Amino acid sequence: MKKTTLTLLILSVVFVLLFYFALWLEGFAAVSLLLFTTVIGLVLLVLVLKSLFSEKNFLGAGLGVLALYIVVFSPIETIIESLKSPLVSTGYCEHTMSSASLYLRKNHSFEYINGGFLSNDIYEGTYIRKGDTV
């Protein structure tokens, strides 16, 4: 295995793991980790372009492109959302430092997301609809 391929493999794994770890964290640590992850992503992009065009290392470039695809286009979240019950109704309210979202699903489950500044609380449960009242 070429040195560049090994470097791209390690950098790709670290990039994806740090991104999802930063999403799991809350507060200043998450913001700092996301900034650091952005720097790693830019380094990864430069190494992918270098390995693709100057070294013709398609395996290493493919690993880097896969990691960038996972973070940028988030197929994992798309798959998880497609496995859930379809949405019946949604609501969203955004303020300067916080936001709130409500998702009502067809199987009578709900998700309430209370997103304050640097935190994200998710509440799940079931609901009953009677007339125009939930």
For 89-108, how does the pLDDT look when each residue is reduced to its tens digit (9 = 90+)?
Answer: 999 998 887 889 999 999 99
The Cα 8–Cα 48 span in angstroms is 8
Residue 43 or residue 98, greater confidence: 43
Q: Is 63 left (phi over 0), alpha (psi -120 to 50) or beta?
A: alpha
Distance, in Å, from the CA atom of 108 to the CA atom of 124, rounded to the nearest integer, reads 11
Residue with tokens 């992009």: 45
What number of CA atoms fall less than 13 Å from residue 76's CA on the CB side? 9
Tell me the pTM. Answer: 0.76
